[in-house]
Amino acid sequence: MSGIVGRLDAEQRRILGKAATVAVSVAPFGLAFGVLCGKAGIPPWMCLLYSTLVFTGGSQFAAVGVLADGGTPQAAVVAGILLATRFVVFGVVLGDWLPPQRWKRVLAAHLLIDESMAIGAAAPREHRWFGFLAGGLAVYTVWPIASVVGAIALGGSPGLVERLGIDATIPAAFLALIWPALRGRDALAVAALAALITVVLVPVLPPGLPVIAAGAAAMLALRTPGVDGEPP
């Protein structure tokens, strides 16, 4: 293992560090999802399948949350889908980084989550694919295991995530990842507009949709002539 790490450059090792940190910070959410599965009457083996086959925290919580509240599978699926619609927009960003081989794209698409997108986007251009893979695989290692542990062992551990302040680590990680890109008027304008759109739309739209609308803020970039298409 050290041999592999030894062959990576300094930037790639930094990326691995970020991927590991992000993966650790999703673990408590995985535990919480396992607990939620218990509430919804979903056995641990099926909980594991949710986390490996769906592999999307927001959608998993939304769908199983509906089931736990006594909702129908149809309602659960719709809730889960709404929270995944943003991946169509993410796919636009991702498509630019992926190697051309179809089979790699087929597999890579499954690893598309907020975290892998964020780590890839924060990496320098030549390491975006690496960053995306590192983030995706790191979370893919931790998330299913945490879910199963939560389902089996943690029936009664309410508020674990809140007590440890873990729920703040996700936005903090996202903020840290875009921080270097928030330079210059264009980036700051897009970020501010996106944040404003989001705040306005959260009470108005079903969960998952405000983020897509914020993508419209990126349309600002279209209006700026000769914008350097090079994110830092």
Partner 1 sequence: MSAGAVTLVALAVAVYLLKATVPLVLAGRTLPPVLLRVASMLPVALLSALVVTSTVAEGRNLVLDARVVGIAVAGVALWRRAGFVTVVVLAALATALSRALGGG
Q: Which of 26, 35, 148, 190 binds partner 1 (CB under 8 A)?
A: 190
Question: Is residue 18 a contact point for partner 1 (CB under 8 A)?
Answer: yes
**Minimum distance between the CB of residue 77 and partner 1, rounded to whole angstroms?**
5
Near partner 1 by CB under 8 A: residue from 98, 145, 152, 154 = 98
Q: Which of 23, 31, 42, 133 binds partner 1 (CB under 8 A)?
A: 42
Q: Which of residues 115-134 bind partner 1 (CB under 8 A)?
A: 117-118, 121
Q: Which pair of structure tokens corresponds to residue 205?
A: 């739209």
E runs forming strands in the chain: none
Give the span between the Cα atoms of 59 and 208, in whole angstroms. Answer: 9
* Least distance between partner 1 and beta carbon 217 (Å): 4
| Contact pick of 16, 31, 35, 59 for partner 1 (by CB under 8 A) | 59
Sign of CA dihedral 199, 203, 201, 25: positive
Size of interface with partner 1, in residues (CB under 8 A): 105
> Would you say 152 and 48 are in contact if contact means Cβ atoms under 8 Å apart?
no
Complex with partner 1: residue 3 or 103, whichever CB lies closer: 103
Residues 6+ apart with CB under 8 A from 87: 56, 112
Q: Which of 222, 18, 227, 224 is nearest to 124 (CA)?
A: 18
Tell me: does residue 11 bind partner 1 (CB under 8 A).
no
